[in-house]
Structure 1
């Protein structure tokens, strides 16, 4: 049996738990074909090129399956969570929340508009998907992708209707709000992980951090150097104001300072968190216990909108050899070591590899349809394809030396030379 026939046969068998949720025979036939088209060879992974490579399957059949067919994605999304949890879930796993941009031309694709795109480091015409990735031992499995709708779309009901956006979503939702909704769905499905990791785009949101804590989760988030914090031993005392009525609200006995200023008082040391392909990955780190200034807003010492001390957490700083400086907050326990903090914080970057492979290997950003349903179905099928590839890779790894992360299973199965992820 050829390599191509072998993996396609295995894919058909592996997909059975997903196919049971597609009750129509035509959909049960189209799903494996579309996933195989995403995995297989070819520069473009949009509908027309996939259909051409899968002849005699027609474009109209695939288009109907992905963009029009009346099937429910929720059972397949739930099955994806079950299978991902089985593969990498557990007490050593982390859940990474991030977003990824899909560059687009024109104005008709759902959610498209001038937005920040990390891939180019500036604003670009693109769609932005909020992503959740389950990862363990540097093995990522993206488990959710949800489109963020910019204000220009939310304020245009006719545009939303044309793109088929469900009416329940015709209200403004920030990326952190979308992420929290998906996080709760993941938790309700029983997915197991140790902590949630996010970058500063989400971490600067006090309501987001507070929601993570309210869910009983451990977390490590990026923040900014100007984030105001108090010393961990800050005391709440009666106000000493001499004007007006005595205030009943207690106030902190010291002023909040920036994260940058707080860490300037702490000793720094070199930490190596893992060995990369070019040698040890290391930087200078410092950590101190603080209380974040994200409590109720009050007037303090003549200044309005000052925040009282909130949760006690770790404030962590990183000085990279390039001169770049980064800041983080984490609610890990007080006895956590600097090495443990660093290792957890750095585990977040595994999702960037997953995003790159979803695009370069599986065509996440190749979808040319304009509808909400079509985009989310295409994204879901790329997630299922990625999960299958990780299943194959991890199974192969148990039989011998672990394969390099820089050689993707997709290129191996497709019979092409691997390229860097």
Structure 2
């Protein structure tokens, strides 16, 4: 196991079994492969140890739990969960695996604290493929939003100190919204241009799709803000925030008090005026600057994916079984 970790952390550009074995001075990859394929260790227990270790350093007020997925391109059909499906890693439908990840992001840094392989439905309906890939009988078909919900639940059960959840439109669904409201957590979740929004209970009257609401905003409703620093400096966009309703936290959980605001956050690109939309939930009076900061933390998980893939062999994995 130590030789395996040394290989992953070493300077080799490819982290395959052969490359790691060569770095360790082994004559072949069998010892390296045995760590993943034939050793007896609890992957979920290791996940929890990594989470607790990361939090010792990164835990901080205002932290964001970021949920996102990434693809692992494959050539064959035997790797567990592989299939023709869309991945943003390639920007198209292609033969790949999909992993859903949760990252903890604070002003002290970022680290992955949860992960789960997405198993497409056609895998769960084919016993012979499941058996060949050693998929446990307890694993059934679970959608990506359901995986995200399970990750949030694990973080809550472990008392992970976070105030917000950020995710793209795949995960911005009612189930996760209600789960976070009941838990007293704020969120900035991606929404589609065609999603319907409407205001009520004393807020300025707006109703329609997210895109229609954006088009009707007055020029003065937009504010230029940075979503954080990128490789080329501040990531500047024009932003607008529409408050839709103030609701009592106790409506969702009697343990909480105070007003929370349901809203719509809109981002407009400076170069082509392309729009992006986000459903929000936050304590009443939260400024737009805070919501923009939370949304901007999603870039941290993209940077983490890039580092893990290019420097730590995340896409070089040759393991085919669950």
TM-score norm. by structure 1 comes to 0.68
Matched residue, 2:268: 319
Matched residue, 1:156: 126
Matched residue, 1:212: 180
Q: Is there any run of 5+ residues in structure 1 with no aligned partner, and where?
A: 1-29, 236-253, 293-310, 373-421
Matched residue, 1:43: 13
Change (3 A) 1:212 1:131: same
Paired with 1:229 and 1:94, the residues of 2 have a C-alpha distance of: 25
Paired with 1:191 and 1:208, the residues of 2 have a C-alpha distance of: 17
Q: Secondary structure at the match of 1:90?
A: coil
Q: Secondary structure at the match of 2:270?
A: coil
Instruction: Decide whether the 8 Å contact of 2:261 with 2:283 is kept in 1.
Output: no
**Structure 2 counterparts to residues 104-253 of structure 1, below 5 A:** 104-137=74-107, 139-169=109-139, 171-203=140-172, 205-233=173-201
Q: Deviations over 1:189-215 (max 9, x none)?
A: 222112111011111x21222222223
Superposition deviation, residue 263 in structure 1: 3.1
Matched residue, 1:282: 236
Matched residue, 1:264: 215
Q: Is there any run of 5+ residues in structure 2 with no aligned partner, and where?
A: 247-259
Matched residue, 1:342: 292
Q: Secondary structure at the match of 1:332?
A: strand
Superposition deviation, residue 187 in structure 1: 2.3
Instruction: Decide whether the 8 Å contact of 2:57 with 2:108 is kept in 1.
Output: no
Matched residue, 1:410: none
Paired with 2:243 and 2:198, the residues of 1 have a C-alpha distance of: 9
Instruction: Decide whether the 8 Å contact of 1:289 with 1:334 is kept in 2.
Output: no
Aligned length: 304
Paired with 1:34 and 1:142, the residues of 2 have a C-alpha distance of: 20
Change (3 A) 1:80 1:39: same
- Tell me whether 259-268 or 62-71 shows the greater mean CA deviation: 259-268
Q: Which structure has the larger Rg?
A: 1
Change (3 A) 1:367 1:224: same
Superposition deviation, residue 269 in structure 1: 2.1
Paired with 1:82 and 1:129, the residues of 2 have a C-alpha distance of: 21
Instruction: Decide whether the 8 Å contact of 1:225 with 1:259 is kept in 2.
Output: yes
Superposition deviation, residue 313 in structure 1: 0.8
**Structure 2 counterparts to residues 333-412 of structure 1, below 5 A:** 333-372=283-322
CA RMSD after TM alignment: 2.1
Question: Which has a greater percent of helix?
Answer: 1
Paired with 2:153 and 2:213, the residues of 1 have a C-alpha distance of: 34
Q: Deviations over 1:332-370 (max 9, x none)?
A: 123111212111111111100000111100001111121
Q: Secondary structure at the match of 1:364?
A: coil
Superposition deviation, residue 115 in structure 1: 1.1
TM-score norm. by structure 2 comes to 0.88
Matched residue, 1:249: none
Q: Secondary structure at the match of 1:77?
A: helix
- Tell me whether 123-132 or 224-233 shows the greater mean CA deviation: 224-233
Superposition deviation, residue 39 in structure 1: 1.0
Paired with 2:228 and 2:280, the residues of 1 have a C-alpha distance of: 20
Instruction: Decide whether the 8 Å contact of 2:207 with 2:213 is kept in 1.
Output: no
Matched residue, 1:3: none
Matched residue, 1:61: 31
In the alignment, which of 31, 53, 59 is matched to residue 89 of structure 1? Answer: 59
